[in-house]
Amino acid sequence: ALKEFDIEEVAKHNKEGDLWIIIDGKVYDVSKFGRLHPGGMPPLVDPTVAGKDCTDLFFGLHRASVLDEPRYAKLQIGTVPKPAQAKAKKEGQDIVMPYAEAMGTWRRFSPYYKETHHKFRAALRAVLDKEVRPFAKKWDDEATLPTREVDKVLGDSGILACLVASEEGVGDLLRSHNIKLPGDIQAEDYDYFHGLILSEELRRALDGGYGVGDGLYGGISIGLPPLLKFGTKDMIERFAVPVIKGEKRICLAISEPYAGSDVAQIRTTATPTADGGWTVSGVKKWITGGMVADYFTTLCRTEKHGSVMLLLERDDENGSVTTKLLKTSYSAAAGTAYVTIHNARAATDHLIGKVGNGFMQTMANFNFERWGMICGGNFHSRMVLEECMRWA
């Protein structure tokens, strides 16, 4: 345990070569820190700093997170009892820099934001600040794939349900399974501004990290909507509900090494079988969340019937649907996969929508997806602005 010093003892160490300071109740020995300090030694030996409690001065110039960095945290040698200074402004407090939040958050009157939007944001932030934000950087740095425990938290809190809350009929589906959206809002009230808030709060919780975000919810956010839009009631109950609850995972398998995102040029082929099902073979590449997916919303071409969208299930045991991690320019925490499909069987009830409509169903999925990406990107720019304002 760190030693506890009294104020008088700290005050004795107030000169170059023997220099202690107090920040937020913690005692730091900065005797050898002068050559590393960006401002040099003079600010450290200033009479208002050396041997003194300089909490307010420190936080007027630095972010609180600086003290968490190992190279600075190791300078702490003890504490002082009952610090008189104000506590540091910790991350997560409601200290809003200009333009760091969307205008609807802080305007007294907004034509767009209702009470449900503010309740929704507060509920989201409460969950994400506890369950995601403290670990996001570590997950990103260590390329940690999402765990079932985290999935369950996102499911129980209703965050995964938000990804499809605006789809037709989802309100009844959620109520039938006692699934509630954050802030206890109704799916029928969920609009594009709730979607905007969701994108903002997720981006904030991830500290801007795209890799972790894509791993946690990116694959689900694009793989699940087609099932709700075009799947049968039985498919939704069997496959969508477990995903919404955080018990299973799904991703969208469209892009291929031959065609990239040129959806019309895909080569993965589905061949009808005598029993009304399909045999599928091909490869998919750059599939977000594919490494942790149980189900694959898969676009295929056919020889005579146009394009079809099929739900394929992971099959590592027989090797018919397998994945391999792809190295990309961002964190492997996204679980980006190369998917190999070899004579995979899709039963009749695994057809999503109608035969021949696969391409159109894929296109119908893009609008809300792009909205989320735009909102997340916009908020990321606000985070950059906020960081600059705090430092300035």
Q: State the pLDDT at residue 87.
A: 45
Would you state the pLDDT for residue 388? 84
d(CA 193, CA 236): 26
Structure tokens at 184: 């206890």
For residues 80 and 45, is the Cβ–Cβ distance under 8 A?
Answer: no
Q: Express each pLDDT in 58-96 by its tens digit.
A: 877 777 778 888 888 899 999 998 644 444 444 444 456
Q: Provide CB contacts within 8 A for 21, sequence distance 6+.
A: 10, 27, 28, 30, 44, 49, 50, 51, 52, 53, 54
For residue 161, count CB atoms less than 10 angstroms from its CB and return exposed for 0-12, middle for 13-18, buried for 19 or more. Answer: buried
Q: For 126-134, what is the mean pLDDT?
A: 94
Distance CA 147, CA 145 (A): 6
* pTM of the shown model: 0.77
Range name among 233-242, 250-259, 293-302 with the lowest pLDDT average:
250-259
* Beta pairing, strands 337-346 & 278-287: antiparallel
Token pair belonging to 217: 């919810």
Amino acid at 261: S
Under DSSP, is residue 35 helix (H, G, I), strand (E, B) or coil? coil
pLDDT at 331 over 70: yes
- 108 has a pLDDT exceeding 80: no
Q: Count the neighbouring beta carbons within 10 Å of the beta carbon of residue 98.
A: 9
CA distance 265 to 89: 54
- The predicted structure's pLDDT at residue 204: 92
45-49: average pLDDT: 91
Asked whether residue 155 carries a pLDDT value surpassing 90, the answer given is: yes
- Pick from 154, 142, 251: nearest CA to 201: 154
pLDDT number for residue 104: 72
Any bridge partners for residue 252, and if so which?
297
Report the pLDDT value the prediction gives residue 146, as an integer from 0 to 100. 84
pLDDT in tens, 171-181: 999 999 999 99
CA proximity to 182, closest of 119, 228, 245: 119
pLDDT category, 258, cuts 50, 70, 90?
confident
Percent of the chain with pLDDT over 70: 95
Q: What is the pLDDT of residue 89?
A: 41
Q: Which two tokens stand for residue 370?
A: 């792009």
